[in-house]
A and B are shown apart, each in its own frame.
Chain A
Amino acid sequence: EDQVTQSPEALRLQEGESSSLNCSYTVSGLRGLFWYRQDPGKGPEFLFTLYSAGEEKEKERLKATLTKKESFLHITAPKPEDSATYLCAVQESGGSYIPTFGRGTSLIVHP
């Protein structure tokens, strides 16, 4: 069973059509939850870190939220340049510092 599950696997939106990506996790204690963006042929690029339930972070059209069991990445009025794969990673308390990654959500925004 995966510790970090992302849904949906793929998402197609029209430009301006807002939506949310989900990341659920099953670690017993959360040290931190990370969101990354990955463009084709590139390495993941950091977006946000969340540490405790109720925390929110925003950057341009993206907003990340955290509860005790899941995180959401809300995309408001997306543009074609938001097309990418979005990765969620969870760092467990008491373990190694290395986060465990989900399998990602591939987002395509059509003009």
Chain B
Amino acid sequence: NAGVTQTPKFQVLKTGQSMTLQCAQDMNHEYMSWYRQDPGMGLRLIHYSVGAGITDQGEVPNGYNVSRSTTEDFPLRLLSAAPSQTSVYFCASSSNRQGVQHFGDGTRLSIL
């Protein structure tokens, strides 16, 4: 029962570098989303997708890109990393609009 798998678990980047955070789910869920979690700030939505080929912006989308070419995968791209993007990133999926969200265990990203 893999559920939602995020890779890598930890990453250190230098300012200006780019990278992709991977998220894969094996539950055939249509809905997927990316959050960042910062101390004292709770979970803030970055981008979300309601199905393959469909994405939309959340509360804090600047500096991030997403695409959804398959149902299973929803990668998050940092185009030019900035120290303000140091955070823990969580991917989640759900089966429908009223469904429970299933979360991965996060990627801890530090940008120097």
Contacts and interface: CB of A to CB of B under 8 A. Distances in A.
A103 interface: yes
B45 interface: yes
Counting chain A residues whose Cβ lies within 8 A of the other chain, the interface size class is 20 to 34
Given A34-B100, A43-B4, A49-B100, A98 B45 contact: yes
Contacts of A41: 105-106
Given A101-B42, A103-B40, A103-B41, A46 B48 contact: no
Contact of B105 (A43, A98, A99): A43
B74 interface: no
Q: Is the interface of B mostly helix, strand, loop or mixed?
A: strand
B21 to A, nearest CB: 14
B42 A99 contact: no
B88 to A, nearest CB: 9
Nearest to B4: A43
Interface in B57-112: 58, 90, 92, 94, 96-98, 100-106
Given A87-B43, A98-B58, A43 B103 contact: yes
A49 B41 CA distance: 22
A79 interface: no
Given A43-B90, A97-B97, A104-B42, 8 more contacts: A9-B40, A31-B98, A32-B98, A44-B103, A45-B103, A96-B56, A97-B96, A98-B45
Interface of A: 9, 31-32, 34, 41-46, 49, 87, 89, 91, 96-104
